[in-house]
């Protein structure tokens, strides 16, 4: 039960980090706005687009929370079960880092390589998204380590 509750908390943490990371006032947020084409729109067009997307927002955020929950569940499970089975906290963090590097980074990279990304910002988008995920999993791992 602890693992599930921590995974839910981790999904909330992921939402907070993502919101802060991709705010339009941050460098990463500006890259994201350019990625979705908002930089080419007038303020009126941006407002209209946001109004048009409001009906789909609940479903989009619900889907993202599900994805964040699954990621968080994996991180919490790895950290708690590792530490409970005698693995050091630093090695448990290493397991999380290897999972990030071997699974999350390639998925993010594939999305950038094959997605509709302006090639001028492809590396910035990749690095921003990979770093966002790294920060998120490390924060979740740190919190989970307190409950192992």
- pLDDT averages per 10-residue partition of the chain, 148 residues: 92 95 88 82 84 88 94 96 95 96 96 86 91 96 93
Non-local (6+) Cβ contacts of 74 within 8 A are 99
What's the pLDDT at 54? 87
What's the pLDDT at 14? 96
Tokens read off for 90 = 């630093």
What's the pLDDT at 47? 86
What's the pLDDT at 119? 85
pTM of the model: 0.87
For the chain, the structural domain boundaries read 2-145
Please tell me the distance from the alpha carbon of residue 46 to that of residue 44, in angstroms, as a whole number. 5
What's the pLDDT at 76? 97
What's the pLDDT at 128? 93
């Amino acid at each position: 039960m602890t693992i599930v509750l921590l995974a839910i908390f981790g999904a909330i943490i992921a939402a907070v980090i993502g919101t802060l990371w991709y705010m339009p006032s941050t460098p990463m947020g500006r890259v994201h706005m350019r990625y979705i084409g908002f930089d080419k729109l007038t303020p009126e067009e941006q407002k209209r687009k946001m109004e048009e997307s409001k009906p789909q927002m609940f479903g989009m955020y619900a889907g993202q929370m599900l994805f964040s929950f699954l990621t968080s569940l994996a991180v919490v499970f790895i950290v708690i079960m590792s530490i409970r089975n005698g693995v050091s906290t630093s090695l448990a963090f290493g397991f999380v880092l290897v999972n990030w590097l071997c699974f999350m980074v390639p998925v993010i990279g594939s999305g950038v390589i094959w997605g509709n990304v302006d090639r001028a910002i492809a590396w910035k988008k990749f690095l921003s998204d990979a770093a966002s995920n790294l920060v998120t999993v490390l924060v979740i791992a740190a919190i989970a380590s307190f409950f192992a």
